Structure 1
Amino acid sequence: MTERLIDRFDAVLSDLDGVVYAGPHAIPGAPEILRGLAADGMPVIYVTNNASRSVDTVAAHLTDLGVPTEPDGVVSSAQAGAELLAGRVPAGTRVLVTGSQALADVVEAAGLVPVRSQAEEPRAVIQGFDPALGWAALAEAAYTLADPDVLWVATNTDLTIPQARGLAPGNGTLVAAVRAAAGRPPLVAGKPEAPIFRTAAQRAGSARPVVLGDRLDTDIRGGNAAGFATVAVLTGVDTVHTILAACTAERPDHVVETLDGLLEPYPEVVAEACDGGHVARCGAAQAETDGSRLLVRGARSDLDSWRAACAAWWAAHPDTDVPHAPEPEWEPAA
């Protein structure tokens, strides 16, 4: 039997926004794939940076979309943020919650006291996404953080969030506003930090998990940091162009169009040094680069062409902190 990509792993750690759904609606085909994996005995844990909803609500939403899920099948950045706080401040500490009631509930469950005003003398601030968050709440956080001894935790710093109508501002934009006023950065609890993924892997009892995500800067960077295999799915934020240009820490191990790619054999990608440059092959496609130009022999619409392009370009630039890639030059496959 031909090995499918998913057969290389013993658990799936999946992002939600941009992988399973966009806004309130499922991404076509995603529920069927995930439901089938679970039915085959593959543990699936959903790892989300969205701190505006409880894990119970997220699990219920997934179930409504056709992916039956229990609350313990969801690991949220709200949980990660509350755990981070609980490890750094004494039980009973007042914490200013700049976010949803669901975030406040998780903070309380961690043995801390959620408050909403600087007047209540909080000794920590936790900030998470809430679509109803307004200027007054952001200002309250900034006033509180004027005291340098007050701990500040952000559940995540996603700059955008996929919605049915397109990309909308994410928690990172709101964190940036508070940071500009407070003059200092927060600790970040969720993606792209590794602990949230390690927590998910432990919950799945996994030694060889794969991280699925649509974002390089959160899902892929975090999965790589945790030492896990990563798969970029082209149903959300990032594209073949941004993946080609990715900095080293954000390069995925695999790229698939949709989750259907998990159930298919993954083509071998071979890269090697050649005549002062690098060449890579994937299927019928070939890419070569001298480190500045990138020539691809294959169809632009063929994902194998982009896989080969990434392999060649990344081999030529193995260690970079800055996203960069040329516009590929194209020729027909040999």
Structure 2
Amino acid sequence: MTEDVRTATGASEKRLDAVYDTALLDLDGVVYAGGEAVAHAVDSLATAREGGMHLAYVTNNALRPPSTVAAHLSELGVPADASDVITSAQAVARLIADEQPEGARVLLIGGEGLRQALVERGLVPVDSADDEPAAVAQGYGGPDFPWSRFAEAGYAVRAGVPWYASNTDLTIPSGRGIAPGNGAAVEVVRIASGGEPKVAGKPLPPMHRETILRTGAKRPLVVGDRLDTDIEGAHAGGVDSLLVLTGVTDVAALLRAVPEHRPTYVGRDLRELLVGHEAPRADGDGAWACGGARARVADGGLVLEGNGAGAGAEGGALLDGLRVLCAAAWSAGGERAFDGEIAGAVQALGELGGA
């Protein structure tokens, strides 16, 4: 299970898909980006599934209903049913239903995924602040969401209507790069209304509760690309995690991670589900070693040595380099800036540093 203060990545002699019964997989930036499958995702998930691992897809994106997400996954070659998909829309709908009476009107500021989740909980979506809503529910509405909807939310919240948000991710991966997420839209309503929403999505407890209720996982592994949602959520829930570098988080952010943002395992992509993971070991003088890689803090900067460094390093050597850099940075206090010298160590990882 996750340590209170992690100073190095963890070890697993067995493949991760043999150790954990359920993978709780984030979607955007992990399985797909901009609607297209991330490299190696389809084959890796097929192998894990064939080995007996249950795959559940857990997303803070409240835009699409689970059936639509499952259909998209199946089109990409990742067979999934609606019951395999858990969204922050479902988590926030349960939160509202726990606090509002059945049949309560809820001002919907979001897409079809949030609408269906509210109806599933016996709530009645409405479109105007003039409809006397008992609550406001806000979720990601897509890149073309009308500005007028934020105005409706602002009117209701300023009038004292309780406000709930599916999640507060400031950004979302897209096929063209990083785009504004629901958190950016929440800030618009916050500025207009002066209110403060109750939030359901990762990394907060309502989302973890929703996930466990729907999957029945006994020994789950959270797999994500974001430190502040996926990894922090795993830390808060007391479960292990795997960070993949195919989405939002880059190597520099990982090395500076505060304790609650430090994953159990790190890797390039979903291939890391199918292998064991070697933990770095202390190597004297504050250095850490793993395989042929060695890292240490020197003169306020991070230094990477051995065959984990350089553009010619590939595969396991790159991962060894990443693991020792994490250990050196985290054990020294990864939340501090390394005076700009972190850039040299990241560059030394070659292609992984740009993942």
Normalised by the size of structure 1, how large is the TM-score? 0.91
Q: Which amino acid aligns with 1:134?
A: P
Q: Determine the structure 2 residue equivalent to 1:269.
A: 280
In the TM superposition, residue 120 of structure 1 has moved relative to its aligned partner by: 0.5
Q: Give the letter aligned to residue 155 of structure 2.
A: Y
Distance 1:294 1:235, change over 3 A: same
Residue of structure 1 in register with 2:149 after alignment: 137
Question: Are the structure 2 counterparts of residues 332 and 236 from structure 1 closer, same or farther at C-alpha, using a change threshold of 3 Å?
Answer: closer
Instruction: Give matches, 1:88-99, under 5 Å.
Output: 88-99=99-110
Name the amino acid aligned to 2:127: R
Question: What is residue 86 of structure 2 aligned with on the other side?
Answer: 75
1:253 partner amino acid: T
Alignment-derived partner of residue 226 in structure 1: 237
For residues 173-216 of structure 1, give each alpha carbon's deviation from its aligned partner in whole angstroms, at most 9, with x where no partner exists: 11111111111321111111133234323433322211000111
Aligned letter for 2:295?
Answer: A
Q: Secondary structure at the match of 2:287?
A: strand
Could you give the per-residue CA deviations for residues 204-248 of structure 1, whole angstroms, max 9, x where no partner exists?
A: 332221100011111111111111111111111111111001122
Kindly indicate which of the two structures has a greater share of residues assigned to helix.
2
Distance change in 2, residues 1:163/1:289 (3 Å)? same
Give the structure 2 partner of residue 317 of structure 1: 333
2:172 matched to which residue of 1? 161
Aligned residue for 1:44, secondary structure, equals strand
* Preserved contact between residue 24 and residue 164 of structure 1 (Cα < 8 Å): yes
Which residue in the other structure is 1:116 paired with? 127
Which residue of the other structure, out of 51, 57, 62, is the alignment partner of 2:62?
A: 51
Q: Which runs of 5+ in 2 are unaligned?
A: 1-12, 312-317, 350-355
User: Which of residues 289, 294, 298 is equivalent to 2:302?
Assistant: 294
Name the CA distance, whole Å, in 1 between partners of 2:103 and 2:150. Answer: 23
State whether residues 47 and 197 of structure 1, in contact with CA within 8 Å, keep that contact through their aligned partners in structure 2. Answer: no
What do residues 232-291 of structure 1 show as CA deviations (whole Å, max 9, x unaligned)? Answer: 11111111111001122111111110111221221222247x55xx32222111122269
For 1:228-243, list aligned pairs within 5 A: 228-243=239-254
Does structure 2 retain, via aligned residues, the 8 Å contact 1:234–1:257? yes
The 5-angstrom pairing of residues 29-40 of structure 1 reads 29-40=40-51
Give how far 1:97 is off: 0.6
What TM-score, normalized to structure 2?
A: 0.86
Aligned residue-pair number:
325
Q: Give the aligned residue type for 1:138.
A: F
